[in-house]
Structure 1
Amino acid sequence: MSILKKTVSEKNILYKERQRFRQFWLWAVVLAVASIFWLGLVYQVLLGGAFGSRPVSDVSVVVLFVLVGLGLPLFFYGMRLTTEVEPGELRLRFWPFHLKPVEIPLHLVREYELITYNPIMEYGGWGIRWSARGKAYNMSGNEGVKLYFYNSKPLLIGSQRAAELFRAIGEAKQQQV
């Protein structure tokens, strides 16, 4: 029997989580900004008024509406953090910034812990964050698993199911080949 690379459906995935931004305040800000461009489109293009004290052309209003009025909310809606754990490996993908997942071989992880953290004070917010404490991938909430490596700074993975992620990493480290 030849050794073939397993397809995605054949892999032994121990844990999978897909997260999106859920913060009310974030969506309030995004939709408030987008609504200004919706208002500009309706008032200037559809009703024929002049939006603002120095209005731009109707074509520019339509372009700005598409980019900000539609594009900004769709961009935030499309953002997602996918975390997968399988024997010997952890994969993270923060779409649309990662076209391919970041693969972390678990043999490089010296230690890991389940933590509760302050996203704003410790990492400066949510998303892909860098700080003196290391790198963080998080979407919402304040729980996660922090990985400590032999040769680099720690990595925090935020999760809505942090205890389950912690257990899956432990199982994946035991099963690594």
Structure 2
Amino acid sequence: MSEKNIVYRERQRFSQFWLWVVVLGVASIFWVGFVSQVLCGGALGSHPASVPGLTLLFVLLGLGLPFFFYRMSLTTEVQPGEVRVRFWPFHLRPVKIPLHLVRDYELVTYNPISDYGGWGIRWSWKGRAYNVSGNKGVQLHFYNKKPLLIGSQRAQELFRAIGEAKQMAGRAGL
């Protein structure tokens, strides 16, 4: 489908302060090790890592981990007849959810930790969830499987867009 058929589009990233403190804290350990041992020539600890090994760890965890979290995103699109969810880099292509399979949908406020075990792509006794931050979203109820929660910073708009897309699909015979 083309861009003009998109009823709603939202792209979310991890922006929680506490998460970035943890990610940058872990990365800084490898920055300090790399600078003190490789660039300054000192030894870090009583059993220092080899220069190639420390360089590899620095690249993977000192640079790669923050870059990975910076690039990670949840994109939600609503088009006539379907909702598409893509959690990059885990989904190379969007997960397509045909709206004719959705029995009902509702605007919800949820607890990410106790209901789904956190943020990201989550599975729990309540069903599946795609969320990045916050505690609001739209829960889709299906005819033959557990519900799916789509977290959103603009949950009201997402809810209205799903209703509009279902109507558009019904009129178009999709």
String of CA shifts for 1:11-32, please: whole Å, max 9, x gaps: 4100000000011111000000
CA distance in structure 2 between the partners assigned to 1:150 and 1:117 by the alignment: 22
Q: Which amino acid aligns with 2:107?
A: L
Out of 3, 23, 36, the residue aligned to residue 30 of structure 1 is 23
Out of 166, 172, 175, the residue aligned to residue 165 of structure 2 is 172
TM-score (norm 1): 0.94
Indicate whether 1:39 and 2:32 are aligned: yes
> How is 1:152-167 mapped onto 2 (pairs within 5 angstroms)?
152-167=145-160
Partner of 2:98: 105
Q: Percent identity?
A: 73
Out of 33, 45, 48, the residue aligned to residue 55 of structure 1 is 48
> How is 1:78-117 mapped onto 2 (pairs within 5 angstroms)?
78-117=71-110
Give secondary structure in 2 for the equivalent of 1:120: helix
Between 53-62 and 15-24, the greater mean CA deviation after superposition: 53-62
Unmatched runs of 5 consecutive residues or more in structure 2: none
Aligned-CA RMSD value:
0.8
Partner of 1:3: none
Unmatched runs of 5 consecutive residues or more in structure 1: 1-5
Report runs of 4+ in structure 1 exceeding 4 Å deviation: none
